[in-house]
Each structure stands twice: as structure tokens, then as C-alpha cells.
Structure 1
């Protein structure tokens, strides 16, 4: 999938900034196939035109565009009650990791969905990596050598999630908030931090968790 910004600019007479925002929003959030391939690359075509693509350029200098947490967008247009669920991706690894850490696999799947939309290549602006968006220091502490390897990421992320659930006595909302904003933020505010990103994240994780639970029963 490739876009020619110059053609769109000339046709619709919009500013370059709005064009880039629109393109990235489309590539990152509009397609269900993004769960498997959502790496966005910026490069210049042979004519020198800035181009965006979800296919890594070969033989060209390119820049990979980093994105933020999938479920943290305050103004997201996604209907979280109806958005597509990913019921079969990484099933064995998720089930095994959840069983080992004694937590609900539906919650693990909800966190993956919220964090990366099941994109194992996801890389945030802050440096969080892979399916469960592990920060490098956290990944190292959890024994994860390569956070972009799905199995390692899920095992490490699930272990961390289990630790948070134990710390907050099974309170999923507080565990979700800490997963997103950090334990120190939850402690500082004595509950879910007032950050808009964190609050919508916790709400959407809860919605996804219930939906994945229900889907597993049918």
C-alpha cells in the first residue's frame, strides 16, 4: 500500500501537515490487517517525492514511523464494543503463559489488543516494544532477550501483568492503569491516574476483556 502525497495535495488542496496526519491515521488504525503488518515507513521515491508505505523499502534510505499505544488515543473513532477481536493469534503461547502465571488468558489478549493491536513489530515513541509493549529495562528484568519475538514478549508481558494483579489484589483496573502509566503513578494518585490516556486505556481494556471472555464461552 503506497501513497503519493503530492498528488493528494494538488487534488484536495490540503496542508502537508494534515496530509501526513491523515495518512498515518489511515495506515495505523483503519485496517484490521494492521494487526499483522503495522510497520509504517517513510522514504523518498525515485522522483524525490516523500512516500509512506507499510512495506519496508528495499535498497532505499527510510525512516520507520513510531506510533503510540493503540487503545490510548483519546479521540479514537473505534467502537470498542464492536471492533474485531483476535481470537486465534498466538493462542498456544497466550494460553500457556496465562496458565503458568495463573491469570485469565482473555485479559492477556485484551492487553495485547490494547497495547499493540496484535502487531509484534510495534514500537512506541517511548521505546516500548512488541505485542505487550515492554520497555527495554522491564523486558531485561523479565528475562526477555528480544521483545520483538512474540513468544518471549507474551511470556514476559504476562509475567509482569500477573505481578501487577497480585500487587493490587486482583483489581484489574488498577493493574491495567499500572501497566499503562507505571506503578509509581498509581501510588502517587492512590488509584487510577487522572491522565486521559490512562483512563481511556483502562476503560477500553475492560471492554475488550469482557468481550474476549464472552467470545471464549461461545
Structure 2
């Protein structure tokens, strides 16, 4: 059996909802998981005709919406459809894209399928790209949702307020990254060996000359240096900067936007909500912008307007 089919999607949705907290805000992770799971279960129903008329074309569209939100099972299922020509035209290149996305999130079945269809591809399916937001030039950006002066340790808050302007990084962005990365724990150590307040991996520490990542001032300096570089590289796009800080700039370029990982997409939403403004000033002298930015910003077919 290649996968487990959800035969009662509506029942599972009720279970998900019942498990959510009765009061307070639902986290971005919970919200993203719930929507992605709901779309995947609906896609399974249409792929197999479970309680609805079988419609593989609609199933593929629903799978891709779920896959874009980061659901690894949806990514795998859609890869399987393309690998086997199940209701869609067979395409091993597209199949490899979806299997690779799922494999990067640890889905063993997807890792095995990559051996069949081949390695990753640079081709990004249209449905996997986030639509550009509507033009709202006159609208004011939302205000930051978090007052870190109330929750950050005084020493760390003061360090960020002093150091961030030196690197042309707004303190609110730096504090949001620290909160998301380590919850202000200067001794934090992740399973991937990311260390300190801004969770610098050894390669990043070496890249920015951080000798002791558990020293708050050194760690913040390294993290701010990296943020300054990312801001220039992605021309002040906070969503791309946050995604790159979480998953790496290479993943942002390969997926032509925010990578389709549940963790990364929730991370980006958390940072955007905390910061408010999706655009940040940047120093164009720090580095050349990513060569992938024109591709990332390319409108989707349905959004293109003839001139």
C-alpha cells in the first residue's frame, strides 16, 4: 500500500477542531497544518471518488494548494500522480519536484521515490508559487503585534536596541527573530547544532566571525550581520528574509519564494505578524541582490496583464 487514504475527511476535520484550544489565539503552525490537511483530505476524496464524483484534475489542484502550504503527504501524493500518470499527464520532472519537497521534510516514502524518478529539479510548477498580493500602495502596513520590551530580558533587549541600528536592522525584526529562534535563551542548542540567541549554525558563526555563539553580544552581532546581508540580498522583502533565515537562502531561490515547508511557512507568518511592515530598508552596498528575484517576482499567469 503506497499511502493511507482518509475516507472520512469531515470527521477528521471535526477531530482537529475539537483539539484546538477553546480560548486564545491559534498558532500559525496549527492554522497552517489544519488548512493544509483539510485541502489534502479533500484532494484524496476527489482522487479516489470517496463520497464525491471522481475528479483527478480537481484533486491535483487541491493537492497542490496543500503542497504549497507545506503538507508533505500532499506533496508525495501529487508526486505519485505525476510519476504514474494517475489522472494527470505523466511527468517525471514534476514528480521529482514534489517528491523532493516531501523528502526534505523527512517523508521516507518520498526519499525512496526520488531514486525512481531522479533528483531535484529547478522547474517550479506554477501552482506552487504564491500569488502576488494585490496592489495596496496607499494602505499603511499593519503595526507590530508584539511589544518585546515587555517580554524580552532587559539585557538582551538593550543589546538589540543598541546594536541593531549599527547594522541598519530594525530592532523589532531582530527581536522577532530571536524570539522565534531561541525564545531569548542565550544557551539554546538545537538538534541541528544551531546555537545561542539567534541560533547560529557553526557555518554561519564562521562566516561572520563569531567565536563564542553562546555569548549574547557575539551572537547578536553575527545574527545582525546575517540579517543585514539577507536584507540586501532580497531587497528588503521581510518574508523572503525570514524564510531564508529559517531554511537558507538557497532554498528560497530554488523554490522561487517561501519554501513549501510547514515549519518555514509558519515561521514567516510569525515574523511578519511580529514586525508588521513586510518591507524593510536595506543597504544595497552590502551585496548584490539575488539573481532569482526577477523569477520570484514574476506574476503568475492568471495575474499577468497584457500591455
Q: Report the Cα distance in structure 2 between the residues aligned to 1:75 and 1:180, rounded to whole angstroms.
A: 18
Q: In the alignment, which of 215, 223, 231 is matched to residue 165 of structure 1?
A: 231
Match of 1:127 in 2: 193
Q: Report the Cα distance in structure 1 between the residues aligned to 2:222 and 2:249, rounded to whole angstroms.
A: 17
Q: Report the Cα distance in structure 2 between the residues aligned to 1:186 and 1:89, rounded to whole angstroms.
A: 33
Q: In the alignment, which of 29, 37, 40 is matched to residue 74 of structure 1?
A: 29
Q: In the alignment, which of 196, 205, 209 is matched to residue 143 of structure 1?
A: 209
Is 1:105 equivalent to 2:171 in the alignment? yes
Is 1:182 equivalent to 2:273 in the alignment? no
Q: Report the Cα distance in structure 1 between the residues aligned to 2:158 and 2:170, rounded to whole angstroms.
A: 14
SS of residue in 2 equivalent to 1:127 = coil
SS of residue in 1 equivalent to 2:213 = coil
Query: What residue ranges of structure 1 are gaps of 5+ in the alignment?
Result: 1-71, 212-218
Indicate how the Cα distance of structure 1 residues 91 and 193 shifts in structure 2: closer, same or farther if over 3 A, else same.
same
Q: Report the Cα distance in structure 1 between the residues aligned to 2:155 and 2:268, rounded to whole angstroms.
A: 22
Deviations 1:132-165 (A, max 9, x none): 0000111011110010110100010011011001
- Structure 1 position 208, deviation (Å): 1.9
Indicate how the Cα distance of structure 1 residues 104 and 87 shifts in structure 2: closer, same or farther if over 3 A, else same.
farther
Q: In the alignment, which of 85, 88, 96 is matched to residue 162 of structure 2?
A: 96
- Structure 1 position 206, deviation (Å): 1.3
Q: Is the 8 A contact 2:146 2:274 kept in 1?
A: no
Q: Report the Cα distance in structure 1 between the residues aligned to 2:197 and 2:251, rounded to whole angstroms.
A: 23
- Structure 1 position 189, deviation (Å): 0.5
SS of residue in 1 equivalent to 2:270 = helix
Kindly indicate which of the two structures has a greater share of residues assigned to strand. Answer: 1
Equivalenced residue count is: 137
**Once superposed, which parts of structure 1, at least 4 consecutive aligned residues long, lie more than 4 Å away?**
81-84
Using the size of structure 2 for normalisation, the TM-score is 0.41
- Structure 1 position 75, deviation (Å): 3.8
Indicate how the Cα distance of structure 1 residues 127 and 103 shifts in structure 2: closer, same or farther if over 3 A, else same.
same
Indicate how the Cα distance of structure 1 residues 149 and 82 shifts in structure 2: closer, same or farther if over 3 A, else same.
closer
Q: Is the 8 A contact 2:153 2:184 kept in 1?
A: no
Q: Is the 8 A contact 2:188 2:199 kept in 1?
A: yes
Query: What residue ranges of structure 2 are gaps of 5+ in the alignment?
Result: 1-26, 32-144, 278-307
Q: Report the Cα distance in structure 1 between the residues aligned to 2:160 and 2:154, rounded to whole angstroms.
A: 10
Deviations 1:60-102 (A, max 9, x none): xxxxxxxxxxxx98349xxxx6797327342332123211111
Using the size of structure 1 for normalisation, the TM-score is 0.58
